[in-house]
Amino acid sequence: MIRNRLEKLRTWMREQPGGEVGAFIVPSNDPHFSEYVAAHWGCRAWISGFDGSAGTAVVTTEGRAALWTDSRYFLQAEEQLAGTGIELQRMGIEGTPTIARWLAEGIVAEGGRRVGIDGRLFSRAAFEAMSGELAEVGFELVPTEDPFAEIWADRPALPHARAFLLEEAYSGEATADKLRRIRSAQPTGAVRLGAVLDEIAWALNVRGGDIAYNPVVVGYLAIESERAVLFVDPAKFGAEDRERLRREAGGEMRPYEEFAEYLRRELGGKTVMVGSEGLDVYHWGLLSQTGARIRKEATPYGVISAMKAVKNATEIDGFRRAMEVDGVALVRFERWLEGVVAAGRRPTELEAAARLHAFREAAGGAEFRGESFETIAGYGDHGAIVHYEATPESDRAIGTDGFLLIDSGGQYRYGTTDITRTYHFGTPTTEQRRDYTAVLRGMIDLCAARFPAGTRGAQLDVLARRYLWDEGRNYLHGTGHGVGHFLCVHEGPQSIRMNENPVVLQPGMVQSCEPGVYVAGRYGIRIENLTLVTAEGCPEGFLRFEPLTLCPISLAAVDVELLTADQREWLNDYHAEVYARLAPRLEADDERAWLRERTRPVE
């Protein structure tokens, strides 16, 4: 099936009116550069068979194809690409060629020097970077029409989920006030264009369901001096919400398809603020043709992204509330799972994920809006697949010999959660205990850090890795990502990872702390909490991380003797806080007794 699809694309490439396209690049994203996309834009998954959230496929008319992805998906991609003829290129591994180098080494035909892309799926910045890399080896990058509009016969339609406005009681700031702040950061009379969906959702206090797990609405946004124009299917909103947006924020809704015409007809000669990472090269070209005075954002992440990352007091309180509700669900889930395994039953990975969802739904009630991403429940060697997805074919019973890694999260109207815990229901081996304790120690040291204002995440990353490095272990994914408030579970602009990121950590930012270790074919271990950057309790000019997540950290595989006195103190203080915050929310005495035991001090 995949080979047939590749041939359809190659036929389309050979028949291009401007001349044959010798190679075509298919990224993971949609026109809004989303990490997770609606089914309509699942082109890379459709053409390759690999359905991880990150990857880029390249197909040549000469019969070759390859897919680049990062370490989270190496094992998954290897399995899903088997038999397709698509080569797996492991990003971040020494010797892996870039796309440009791979093409230079493989394409020799004279007609193959043109490399095509759908211009709607590449930001201006990405297009310029790729153009430069390809030019160095003699290739030309050319925007084309969308080939999948022709070759994907049963392509899903654009999403049409219902949308709504989030009340200020949850957002903490009225839409009109957000728009005033945004306008104050641009020249008088300028128009700001936005295509990134979570930025649009934050700016207008809009939420929807167009992308699974991400409560966003597919659309574009133009912030003018006196009005904000949202290009979206207006039928997604009720009449009351449409009127409220108009009345409170001067908001106007137009059909999604009219964005291009708006650029052509209404922005000529105007000053237009555009982020080079926030508008695709196709629409950028239309804007350029109008004579608009385009001003790029001063930073790659943009004004709205920077504002959104620093949570206000209402949002922070919402996160804390979400953690308590989520914590109750997790306590009940872990108690159930531990009990059934101890009784000799062997629930499967899919069963565990379904039960966890049910506990969250029961705890959150009407405020629960689904999961924040698809639950990762991997037992044994499945845990070594960083973003493992259980299927009916791969579903495995949970036993007592290996680790069970569960990474999950919930969406609530007042906040978003993301947590990973790793369990062992038997007697861990010496190696398992060593690795688990090394991950835990790194997680504790990072969460306990105090650091000067102005510190970047890359300067702290080593704290989470140092004990793994002592053992000759490492992990290739980032240690921490920003988290949206009832928005995308992964957001920027801050991060904690080995790669340099110029964004400094600021009070009000929420991010994960999630070191791990993955032993292929055997087990995976990851422990993750969400944290809040705060100055509270710090010397002047310093910051720290406040743990937000409330859930016991399994002690079954901890080698307590390896913990320093400070690490034991942090763990005991954290568990005391977990008990103090969650116990009043538990109705049954046996639940509180279970939690008391799982949060007992270590000595």
What DSSP element (H or E) covers 240?
A: helix 239-249
Closest by Cα among 206, 253, 201 to 227: 253
Q: How far apart are CA 565 and CA 171, in angstroms?
A: 40
- The alpha carbon of residue 406 and the mean position of all alpha carbons in its chain are separated, in whole angstroms, by 17
Instruction: Work out the burial of residue 220: count CB atoms within 10 Å of its CB; fewer than 13 is exposed, 13-18 middle, 19 or more buried.
Output: buried
Closest by Cα among 564, 409, 533 to 460: 533
What DSSP element (H or E) covers 480?
A: strand 480-482
Q: How far apart are CA 339 and CA 345, in angstroms?
A: 9
Beta strands in 15-70 (DSSP E): 23-26, 56-60, 65-69
Q: How far apart are CA 510 and CA 388, in angstroms?
A: 25
What DSSP element (H or E) covers 421?
A: strand 419-424
How close are the terminal C-alpha atoms of the chain, in Å? 58
Give the tokens for residue 497: 């990872």
Among the residue ranges 108-122, 202-216, 456-470, the one predicted with the least confidence is 108-122
The count of residues in the chain is 603
pLDDT at 580 over 60: yes
Mean pLDDT of 561-568: 98
**235 CB neighbour count, 10 Å cutoff:** 12
Yes or no: say if 197 and 214 are a contact pair by the CB < 8 Å rule.
Answer: yes
DSSP state of 397: B
Report the pLDDT value the prediction gives residue 59, as an integer from 0 to 100: 94
pLDDT at 193 over 60: yes
Report the pLDDT value the prediction gives residue 108, as an integer from 0 to 100: 53
Q: How far apart are CA 249 and CA 190, in angstroms?
A: 17
pLDDT at 298 over 80: no
Taking only the tens place, the pLDDT of each residue in 490-528 is: 999 999 999 999 999 999 999 999 999 999 999 999 999
Dihedral sign, CA of 203, 206, 210, 216? positive
Mean pLDDT of 423-442: 98
pLDDT at 435 over 60: yes
**What is the chain's mean pLDDT, rounded?**
94
Report the pLDDT value the prediction gives residue 110, as an integer from 0 to 100: 47
The three-state secondary structure class of 373 is: coil
Name the band, by pLDDT with cuts 50, 70 and 90, for residue 73: confident
Yes or no: say if 410 and 318 are a contact pair by the CB < 8 Å rule.
Answer: no
Yes or no: say if 283 and 259 are a contact pair by the CB < 8 Å rule.
Answer: yes
Taking only the tens place, the pLDDT of each residue in 13-45 is: 998 887 788 999 999 999 999 989 999 999 999
Give the tokens for residue 271: 């000053």
Closest by Cα among 105, 102, 109, 112 to 139: 112
pLDDT at 276 over 90: no
Yes or no: say if 418 and 410 are a contact pair by the CB < 8 Å rule.
Answer: no
DSSP state of 34: -
pLDDT at 331 over 60: yes
Report the pLDDT value the prediction gives residue 296, as an integer from 0 to 100: 86
Yes or no: say if 302 and 275 are a contact pair by the CB < 8 Å rule.
Answer: yes
Closest by Cα among 160, 165, 183, 203 to 38: 160
Report the pLDDT value the prediction gives residue 62, as an integer from 0 to 100: 86
Q: How do 529-534 and 523-526 pair as beta strands?
A: unpaired
Taking only the tens place, the pLDDT of each residue in 83-122 is: 999 999 999 899 999 999 999 887 654 456 899 999 999 9
Mean pLDDT of 56-74: 91
Q: How far apart are CA 120 and CA 146, in angstroms?
A: 8
Among the residue ranges 43-47, 271-275, 359-363, 370-374, the one predicted with the least confidence is 271-275
pLDDT at 277 over 80: no
Q: How far apart are CA 60 and CA 67, in angstroms?
A: 12
Closest by Cα among 208, 216, 191, 253 to 33: 216
Please report, rounded to a whole number, the percentage of residues in the chain having pLDDT higher than 90: 88
Report the pLDDT value the prediction gives residue 510, as an integer from 0 to 100: 98
The three-state secondary structure class of 519 is: strand
Give the tokens for residue 249: 């924020």
Torsion angle of C-alpha atoms 330, 331, 332, 333, degrees rounded to 10: 40
Q: Which residue has better confidence, 173 or 387?
A: 173
Instruction: Work out the burial of residue 500: count CB atoms within 10 Å of its CB; fewer than 13 is exposed, 13-18 middle, 19 or more buried.
Output: exposed
Q: How far apart are CA 473 and CA 455, in angstroms?
A: 26
Q: How far apart are CA 552 and CA 582, in angstroms?
A: 10
